[in-house]
Chain A
């Protein structure tokens, strides 16, 4: 084999949600025939308005929902939900509060994925957590705090640390910087860039904010009504993208 298989390889993915009462089921297409590859060390940005299917596609990539149609290979093998993939995939959400249990100290929350995998004893896990906190730019002493005792930016760094602790090969960032202040936002974006260079994980950066997405992503897929209307290198979104809808997004930040 020459080139390694992409971490994520999707072909013709379609997802339809069932709605309505049992006697009048209707299918609402959320994702409608999408091809997407994400290589190791690459970030693909996914932009589009709400309801365009970007979060659904992210959930397919994490194996949380099965596509109605299409094939999905993870590291070259068909994504079989029965295979244990603990620690290979991770997700960072818009609100770090969703990732951190408010009643657990951060050191416990961040070490939890390791504990579930049965790795090390608690002292060793605490050491790993502290090393990782330094990596995400936090004072290791903050590990003993509760999430409520941290600022929004610190909490998002904690959530990223929790996503990284198992050294995943693929991370989904779903609106990960949308709730943050301008200056904190750029800190987190730089953190994501730095961590990716170091750890070479593949990433899907889902956002409605084209300005933030083109900064962290290598390629950008613009999504509308469940389809990609344009997939192009991020550089292209600094000039003038091709599709009319991409141009409208571009105009909103230019």
Chain B
């Protein structure tokens, strides 16, 4: 089956006052129909740029330098304005971090939902959509303005707007970062359930590997504008092959034992000016060798996992028997 999106060796850069910054440095990733993928990385890893690039929603100072995004067989990079509008309107849904900035503060919720559905939907259709995203008392919600909603309710509305036209792909960029912890899980579960029901593919961009690994079938870890490790979520979380994935897991609160110490990743993510000629993680990597600073590691596929590390081969092969047993 053809994937919904096939990202091929994508390079995106921004023109800034300090020169060119390369945010995405050769990403290959394809997303199958109905699949849920979590893209994980620190801020500055390029994950938001990648997400926005799929809908060509990048800032004006960004350029698609090389590679392409093929959406349902069409090249997003070569779409004209009308095709792009159609793509965004019919095939893509976006959910961002802050629901309040995604909603029009001057318009009642019902009207915004009507615009998202398109045409002149009946009140019953508007309420049905609001009920699908778990808002009880939909008629009352439809009459309200965004500022009259709580953050969680507003994010539910935004999710409703995003799925109104049953898109082929939904991109959620830190969808729960501005919400309360007690409802973060509920919102994610809602996103996944809706996508499962409608056959929509889901991409969740997040810095929280644990949260994503629990919910998405597949995970892609980004660093320095590249996917450094991708594979089945549980396997990646249980047996990370890339040193960066291991460092991310060790750094996150929740993975340590009682009295244990968290190990933050020393240093800061790189700001690339040009194509990385070495491993971008090498300066922060505890296991880095001379080769890591000399040559750019290629993405190597093994055992259903793709890893971009010179020394990952052994680590990837190791968990394969367990994976085979479960499959």
A interface residues with partner B (beta carbon < 8 Å)? 49-50, 151-152, 179, 181-187, 189-190, 208-212, 214-215, 234-235, 238, 249, 252-253
Contacts and interface: CB of A to CB of B under 8 A. Distances in A.
Nearest to A153: B268
Query: Of residues A187, A234, A235, A249, which shows the largest number of chain B Cβ atoms within 10 Å of its Cβ?
Result: A187
B180 A187 contact: no
B254 A211 contact: yes
A49 B210 CA distance: 20
A213 to B, nearest CB: 8
Which 9 A-B pairs rank lowest in CB-CB distance, beginning with the nearest?
A: A211-B254, A208-B181, A49-B182, A186-B262, A187-B264, A238-B258, A211-B253, A186-B264, A212-B253
Interface in B233-274: 247-248, 251-254, 256-259, 261-265, 268
A192 B147 CA distance: 35
Contacts of B43: 152, 181
B166 interface: no
Contacts of B268: 151
A183 B253 contact: no
Nearest to B182: A49
B180 A49 contact: yes
Interface centre among A181, A209, A238 (most CB of B within 10 A): A181
B301 to A, nearest CB: 27
Contacts of B182: 49-50, 208, 249
Majority secondary structure, B binding face: loop
Given A182-B207, A183-B247, 12 more contacts: A49-B181, A151-B268, A179-B177, A181-B42, A181-B207, A182-B251, A182-B252, A183-B265, A184-B264, A189-B253, A208-B181, A211-B253
Contacts of B254: 211-212, 253
Contacts of B265: 183
Query: Among A49, A215, A234, which residue has the most Cβ atoms of chain B within 10 A?
Result: A215
Main secondary structure of the interface of A (DSSP, over half): helix
B209 interface: yes
Interface string B128-144: 00000000000000000
B105 interface: no
Nearest to A236: B258
Nearest to A233: B258
A182 B261 CA distance: 14
Contacts of A249: 181-182
Contacts of A49: 180-183
A190 B264 contact: yes
B208 interface: yes
B181 A186 contact: no
A185 B253 contact: yes
5 contacts: A151-B268, A182-B252, A186-B253, A186-B262, A234-B258
